[in-house]
Amino acid sequence: MNVNETWLDNDNLLNLNWQDAYIRSYFCFVYHIGANVYYFPKSNLEFIYIIIILLITVLTFAYIIGMVGNIIESITRDSKEFKDCMDTINEYS
């Protein structure tokens, strides 16, 4: 391996047109935020497909976490309302 050779040279990223470079850089961004992909895409269509799948996965995960948070908040609120009602009833007995 040549000492002057970088990862940009190894993957031939310096010679890409701007559209291909943009798709690959966006893939890298989504890849590091989302999840590890064990298959590295070869064509632009595969890059775009994996980007879409990763974004859908991340958004779905965020939605599920938000819904679980809402359920826990609702349970806590209902429990507090019940306790307040019981306290009110206990005051008159």
pLDDT tens figures, 14-35: 788 888 888 888 877 777 766 6
Contact between 44 and 23 (Cβ < 8 Å): yes
Q: For residue 1, tell me if it sits in a domain.
A: no
For the entire predicted model, the pTM comes to 0.57
Q: For residue 2, tell me if it sits in a domain.
A: no
Number of structural domains in the chain: 1
pLDDT tens figures, 48-66: 888 888 888 889 999 999 9
C-alpha–C-alpha distance, residues 66 and 58, integer Å: 12
Q: 29: domain range?
A: 7-91
Burial 20-56 (b: 16+ CB within 10 A, else e): eeebbeebeebbeebeeeeeebeeeeebeebbeebee
